[in-house]
Amino acid sequence: MIPRGVSPEFLDILTAYEWPGNVAELTGAMDKAVASAKNEPTLYSIHLPSDIREKGIKKSARPDSKPGNNPPEAYAQGKFPLLTQLLETTERDYLNAVLFHTGQDIKQACRISGISKARMYSKLKKYMLN
């Protein structure tokens, strides 16, 4: 068996999901994730079964889902960025991290992020990441 790392998003979904099937369900999900990842050294959320990924994401997106997960100080003061700015910043940072992780391998970055090559190039151009 190949030793693997796990991404923070992968762990976030695993911890957010309630595991009604307990250990058997967790074991099955991990087996599927490892099989889905093939020879990749790191497990990402995309490798998890879609039903677990969906439920985990929904639960982790709720503001009360993680104890101690308080909004930034600016949010507490009522200062919010425009949603489009926040989404663009998050997307740019995500793509930058994926590209760094893959050593600028576009094909692997597309597989990890789940977007097409054309869309990847469009986003790289948009954020000037090439």
Task: Report domain extents, the chain.
Answer: 1-65, 81-130
pLDDT digits (tens, 9 = 90+) for 54-112: 777 666 555 444 434 445 666 677 777 788 887 888 888 888 888 888 888 999 889 88
* Residue 32 token pair: 């599927």
Choose which CATH entry (1.10.420.10, 1.10.8.60, 3.40.50.2300, 1.10.150.110) describes domain 1-65: 1.10.8.60
Closest CA to 51 of 25, 31, 27: 25
As its CATH architecture, domain 81-130 has Orthogonal Bundle (1.10)
pLDDT at 39: 83
At residue 15 the predicted structure's pLDDT band, cuts being 50, 70 and 90, is confident
Question: C-alpha distances in angstroms, 81 versus 63, 73, 84, 89, 95?
Answer: 17, 13, 8, 11, 20
Find out whether 106 and 119 touch, Cβ atoms under 8 Å. no
Task: Indicate the DSSP class of residue 47.
Answer: G
Cβ neighbours, 10 Å, residue 123:
17
Question: For the chain, what percent of residues have pLDDT higher than 90?
Answer: 13
Reply yes or no on whether the pLDDT at 26 is more than 70. Answer: yes
Question: Which pLDDT does position 65 carry in this prediction?
Answer: 43
